[in-house]
Amino acid sequence: MKFILPLLVLLAAAASAGTPKYSPVGGALAVPVSQDNAYFRNPANTAYDYWNLSGFYIPQTTGASCSAASVAMALNALLSARRERGDEEENITEGKLVEKVSGIPWKSLVSEEGADGKHGLTLAQLAAASKEALAAYGAVEFSVSSVTVSSQSAAALESFRRALAGSERNPQDIMLLHFAQDALTGAPGGPFPHISPVGAYDEKTRRVLIFDVDRQWYEPYWAADVQVFKAMAVKTEAFGCGGYVLIKTGN
19 in a domain, yes or no?
yes
1 in a domain, yes or no?
no
Name beta bridge partners: 221.
Answer: 32, 210
Q: Does residue 249 have a pLDDT over 90?
A: yes
Mean pLDDT (the chain) is 92
239 in a domain, yes or no?
yes
Q: Does residue 141 have a pLDDT over 70?
A: yes
On whether the CB atoms of residues 57 and 74 are closer than 8 A, the answer is no
98 in a domain, yes or no?
yes
Confidence band for 219, pLDDT divided at 50, 70 and 90 = very high
Average pLDDT of the segment spanning 155-174: 97
**For residues 173 and 182, what is the distance between their CA atoms, to the nearest angstrom?**
26
2 in a domain, yes or no?
no
89 in a domain, yes or no?
yes
188 in a domain, yes or no?
yes
pLDDT of residue 81: 85
pLDDT digits (tens, 9 = 90+) for 65-108: 999 999 999 999 999 987 778 898 899 999 999 999 999 999 99
Q: Does residue 48 have a pLDDT over 80?
A: yes
207-210 and 221-224 strand pairing: antiparallel
pLDDT digits (tens, 9 = 90+) for 109-139: 999 999 999 999 999 999 999 999 999 999 9
pLDDT of residue 21: 87
pLDDT of residue 251: 63
pLDDT of residue 247: 98
How many Cα atoms sit within 13 Å of 110 on the Cβ side? 27
What CATH number corresponds to the domain at position 18?
3.90.70.30
Neighbouring residues of 166: CB distance < 8 A, sequence distance ≥ 6? 173
pLDDT of residue 16: 44
pLDDT digits (tens, 9 = 90+) for 60-75: 999 999 999 999 999 9
Neighbouring residues of 131: CB distance < 8 A, sequence distance ≥ 6? 142, 144
Structural domain boundaries, residue 132: 7-249
Question: How many distinct structural domains can be found in the chain?
Answer: 1
**For residues 207 and 223, what is the distance between their CA atoms, to the nearest angstrom?**
5
**For residues 139 and 166, what is the distance between their CA atoms, to the nearest angstrom?**
21
Do you find a cis peptide bond into 105, omega within 30 degrees of 0? no
153 in a domain, yes or no?
yes
Phi, psi (5° rounding) for residue 93? -115, 160
pLDDT of residue 8: 45
Confidence band for 7, pLDDT divided at 50, 70 and 90 = very low
